[in-house]
Structure formats: C-alpha cells, structure tokens
C-alpha cells in the first residue's frame, strides 16, 4: 500500500523514485535485446526496416543511410526490430511482395530484394538472428557483473551459523552455533548467500547439510565433517511493498551482512559472473517449475508493477545496486525469451528446429494457430501477473472501499 499511497499523494516523486528508474532500465535492456537481433541480421545480410523502443505511435526518430528507421514510440513497455519482408514486428507473418509508396497493388519481390528479406534466409541464419536477442542479454549481464566484481569486489559473508533460532529446523536436526556449512546436497557452499539461495528454491524439501564443527581460534574441523538431514520450514514472506514470496527457512542466523569483500582479478571476476548468471537462470527455472507443479504459489508471479517497484528501490540504494538489478533483469529477460512459447524468441527457435528436422517449414496455418495460442497465453500471463501486483499492493482493496 505504501507504493500506491505515494502515487496518490506525490505523483511527481513517485515517477522520480520508481517510474523514471524503471523506464530507464527497461529501455536500456530492450535496446540491448533488440540490438542483438539487429546486428546479427545485418551480419547475415538482412535489411532492417525499423528499430523501435516502445510500441504504438512514433514520438521521434531518424532514418539512417541503410534505410533503418530508429525511433522511440508512445508505449515504452518493450520494443521491436522489423525486418524486410515481415508483415508484423514479431516476424510472425511474411509476404513475398512489396507495397509501393504510391498505393498501387503490392508487386512481387525482385531477386535482389529476396536476398535481403528475413523469411528467405536459410534456417541457420534465421535462428542466429532470433537467438541473438536473448544471447546478448546474457552477455550484457555477464559483462556488467564482471566489471563490478573486478572493480568493487564481490560482497562476501562466510557460511557460518552465527546463531541457531530456538525450535527451528536447524536446531531440531542438531546444528550448533559457529558450525560452518561446507555443502548442501553435495553442492559446495562458500558464502552464506549460497546457502540462502539454495534453501529458498528447495522450499520444504529435505537437504543433506555437511558441516564442520568449530574448534576455536577461528578454526573448523573440516577433516571430520558431520552430515545433518534438515527439512526447511516453508514460510511466505511479505516485503515492504506487500508482494509475497515463498521460501525455505533453516533457522540459522548469518554473521553481519557482507562483512568482507572478495577481491577478483578480471579472470576470476568473469568466472564469478558466469557462475552467478548460471545460478540465477537455474533458480528462476526451478521456481517456474515449482509454480507449474504446485509447490510454489503463483502469487509470486509479478508483472510490470512489481518490476517497477524493485527498480525504484534499487535505484534509491545507489548506483551499484541499480547496476546489479539491471544485470539480474537482463538475465531474466533473456531467459524468458528463450521459453518455447510461440510469439517469443524461443517459439521461433522451436519452429526452426522442427523445420530442420522435417526439411521444410511448418504449414502456415499451423504456425498461425500456434502464434495465436501463444499470444493469448502471454496476454493471460500478463493480466494474471498484473492482477497479482494490484492485489498485493492493496489497490483492489482501495477501489472496493471507494465504491462500497
């Protein structure tokens, strides 16, 4: 409700604190994503008609010497690259014809025009152009994180139990204060943050926790580790905005947050960035799978309002947290676009894979129906996610109280 109240009382401050950072980050990531499509299309010899940040009516833009119209459009919630021969920005339909500027009937493409049309390219080139968007989002995030870790270092909290909460799952399993966590289900733990992320996605499933007992003088008996089987307690938390999140809790208190910075060379920073990108992607897919299977509440599925709230919060913390948030959002944007859903890049790649297997494109009617289903599905997800946000921000309660 805090976020909604600020919108009602101080709309200018609301835009400055939340709307501005959200649009800035979103526009940057959309540009990065679409630039991936654009640059690989150019490398493949495809003519790009339009590069748009936003949808709808053009606000301003310019046409470069290659004939590409670069523009900003009215609705700044996405963007697109439209290539020669496409009938829509999603490359969902194409036509082997050209409409003349004088309004005459479309004429067939010439042989030279077909060479630069997207639909006439070999399947390998089309797939490369499509995958370039998500790929550059991952690359962008890796470069950002690498730079941060190399220059600033990486916040580090040792995986040591500063205290054990009374009656918690950890205490019941026999964990003691000052125990050092070595691994969880065989996965090495080097930071307390690793423990937190692992437990958060495993919810209330039993975990084999390998620990080393404290021997004093900042020494642990790692030569004789102890294995404890701990089932985290499933809890639903609510952040300051009112958004709910399911997570697992062992009942272990961490040492003071980020008590040290782990220095990195450029090479080790790159390695850490690659590891973090992989873990964020894997954890996101795990959480989505848990929602599908019913292990995790779909209340956690958030939309534009939730992203905007977090963008503003990170921006208020400072430049470094804001950059980190941009990297996290870039990873998720790349990952979601790779899902095999028609209308997304992953859906196009699925069609190209089937085309490669069959030796010919899928029938146009099948593709058309699949794209319609994909559009309905994505719109449904967007509406559902936005409804979640409105409920958890207490906007729906506010409106109902006004009319009741």
Any domain includes 23: yes
**Boundary of a domain, candidates 196, 228, 262:** 262
| Same structural domain, 211 and 137 | no
Asked whether the beta carbons of 301 and 7 are under 8 A apart, the reply is no
| Same structural domain, 257 and 365 | no
Q: What Rg do the C-alpha atoms of the chain give, in angstroms?
A: 25
SS3 228: strand
Q: Which is nearest to 133 in space by CA: 43, 32, 272? A: 32
Any domain includes 9: yes
* Element holding 132 (H helix, E strand): helix 123-151
| Same structural domain, 174 and 254 | yes
Any domain includes 6: yes
SS3 54: strand
Compute CA distances 278 → 139, 212, 335, 341, whole Å: 12, 27, 11, 21
Any domain includes 313: no
| Same structural domain, 257 and 366 | no
Any domain includes 298: no
Tens-digit pLDDT string for the chain (404 aa): 555 565 556 666 666 677 788 888 888 999 999 999 999 999 999 999 999 998 889 999 999 998 899 999 998 888 899 888 776 555 555 666 566 555 566 667 777 878 888 888 899 999 999 999 999 999 999 999 999 999 888 877 888 888 888 888 889 988 888 889 999 898 888 888 888 888 888 777 888 999 899 888 878 888 888 899 988 888 877 766 677 777 888 888 887 765 567 788 899 999 999 999 998 898 888 888 878 777 777 777 777 777 887 788 888 888 888 888 899 999 999 999 999 988 889 998 998 998 888 888 777 788 888 888 888 888 888 888 888 777 776 665 656 666 66
**Boundary of a domain, candidates 225, 245, 262:** 262
| E-assigned strand segments in 64-162 | 69-83, 97-98, 107-108, 154-156
| Same structural domain, 139 and 170 | no
The count of domains in the chain is 2
SS3 297: coil
> Which residues participate in catalysis according to the annotation?
34
CA distance 238 to 244: 4
Any domain includes 350: yes
Q: What are the backbone angles phi and psi of residue 312, rounded to the nearest 5°?
A: -65, -40
Any domain includes 100: no
Q: What is the CATH number of the domain that holds 163?
A: 2.30.42.10
Any domain includes 255: yes
State the pLDDT at residue 3: 59
DSSP for 228-270?
A: EEE-PEEEEEE-TTS-EEEEEE--EEPSSTT-EEE---HHHHH
| Same structural domain, 252 and 359 | no
State the pLDDT at residue 315: 81
**Boundary of a domain, candidates 262, 280, 307:** 262
Give residue 21's domain range: 2-44+121-151+320-403
| Same structural domain, 135 and 196 | no
| Same structural domain, 29 and 125 | yes
What pTM was computed for the model? 0.78
Asked whether the beta carbons of 148 and 320 are under 8 A apart, the reply is yes
Which residue is associated with the tokens 């959309």? 30
| Same structural domain, 361 and 234 | no
Tokens matching residue 84: 């020669």
| Same structural domain, 143 and 221 | no
| Same structural domain, 211 and 339 | no
CB neighbourhood size of 318 (10 A): 10
| Same structural domain, 227 and 329 | no
DSSP for 340-361?
A: S-TTSHHHHHHHHHHHHHHTSP
CA distance 346 to 23: 25
């Amino acid at each position: 409700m805090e976020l909604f109240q600020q919108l009602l009382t101080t709309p200018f401050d609301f835009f400055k604190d939340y709307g501005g950072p959200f649009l800035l980050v979103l526009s940057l990531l959309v540009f990065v994503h679409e630039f991936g499509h654009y640059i690989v299309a150019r490398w493949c010899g495809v003519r790009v008609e339009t590069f748009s940040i936003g949808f709808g009516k053009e606000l301003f833009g310019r046409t470069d010497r290659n004939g590409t119209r670069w523009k900003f459009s009215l609705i700044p919630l996405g963007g697109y690259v439209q290539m020669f021969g496409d009938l829509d920005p999603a490359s969902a339909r194409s036509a082997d014809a050209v409409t003349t500027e004088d309004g005459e009937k479309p004429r067939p493409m010439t042989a030279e025009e077909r060479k630069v049309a997207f639909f006439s390219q070999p399947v390998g080139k089309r797939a490369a152009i499509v995958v370039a968007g998500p790929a550059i989002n991952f690359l962008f995030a890796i470069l950002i994180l690498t730079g941060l870790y190399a220059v600033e270092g990486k916040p580090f909290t040792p995986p040591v139990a500063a205290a054990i909460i009374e009656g918690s799952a950890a205490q019941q399993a026999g964990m003691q204060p000052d125990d050092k966590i070595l691994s969880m289900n065989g996965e090495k733990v080097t930071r307390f943050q690793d423990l937190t992320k692992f437990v958060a996605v495993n919810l209330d499933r039993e975990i084999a926790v390998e620990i080393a007992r404290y021997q004093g003088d900042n020494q642990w008996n790692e030569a004789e580790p102890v294995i404890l089987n701990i089932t985290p307690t499933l809890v639903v938390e609510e952040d300051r905005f009112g958004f709910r999140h399911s997570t697992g809790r062992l009942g272990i208190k961490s040492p003071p947050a980020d008590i040290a910075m782990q220095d990195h060379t450029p090479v080790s920073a790159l390695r850490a960035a690659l590891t973090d990108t992989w873990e964020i992607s894997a954890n996101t897919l795990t959480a989505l799978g848990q929602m599908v299977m019913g292990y995790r509440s779909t209340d956690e599925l958030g939309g534009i309002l939730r992203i905007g709230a977090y963008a503003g919060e990170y921006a208020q913390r400072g430049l470094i947290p804001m950059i980190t948030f941009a990297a996290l959002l870039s990873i998720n944007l790349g990952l979601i676009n790779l899902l095999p859903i028609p209308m997304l890049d992953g859906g196009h790649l699925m069609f190209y894979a089937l085309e490669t297997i069959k030796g010919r494109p899928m029938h146009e009617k099948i593709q058309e129906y699949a794209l319609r289903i994909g559009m309905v599905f994505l719109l449904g997800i967007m509406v559902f996610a936005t409804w979640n946000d409105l409920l958890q921000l207490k906007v729906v309660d506010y409106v109902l109280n006004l009319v009741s």
